[in-house]
Amino acid sequence: MPSPSFSISPIVEADIPGICALSGAAFEKDRHTLLKAAHPTRPCDHAGGMGGAVKYWLDIPNEKIMHMKAVDDETSEVIAFGVFGLRLSPPQPQPSSVKKPSNSVGQDYVKTDSPDLDGIARLEEHTSSHFADFQKRMMPDGVRCMYIMSMSVHPEHQGRGVGSALMKLGTDRADEEGVFCWVHSSKDGAEFYRKCGFETDDTLEIDLDYWADQMDPKLVPPAGDEKWGTYIFRYMIRQPKPVKGT
């Protein structure tokens, strides 16, 4: 029996509840997310935080972003979404009177160097700093490229080709523009990106048990597990392919 069909269209504000639910389901078993969610006083709410992310994406000018969602034609449920950042034009020169920001990295990636951070906060600082360093290396001023800001498929709808369809729209655009595309991949997402032509350029390996032990009290693994385990973020790059007929 063929899989039910789906339709792809831009994300709108009405999609926020569906995207939040989808994201929560997609990261329900992600060990890094689970560790942050185990914080005793400031648990990470991955699903809840997506609402603000979507509103942020929708405020970005169209020439700097490409966002889309897949909707099941039978149920009208949002079953996947993808968001690409676009750096397709060289930055315009600014007047000398315009003061550049002291740190061009997004707020989530600014190092605090605070001695009062607990273990989970220091883990967040560690991963965010590593991301920021890679981002600055890959996207210095004037470099044209695309990058995946977020992409998820609901676990119940994986294997239908939904993620590949969303990805193709982005990589086709990258090929047309002749630019590379990069992604900061979760542990479970890396194989999907590899199948889509991305290759690992850098990694960040995290001993989750070390960081869990930095908390007081120590954070215990999910029920039935003895350890949190090792988590690997992969920074992956896809080079542009020639466009047929050009």
Which segments in the chain show pLDDT lower than 70?
Answer: 1-4, 90-115, 246
pLDDT of residue 104: 30
- Rg (Cα) of the chain, in Å, rounded? 19
CATH number attached to the domain at 6-95+105-238? 3.40.630.30
- Domain spans, the chain: 6-95+105-238
Determine contact, residues 152/23, Cβ cutoff 8 Å.
yes
pLDDT tens per residue, range 42-68 = 999 999 999 999 999 999 999 999 999
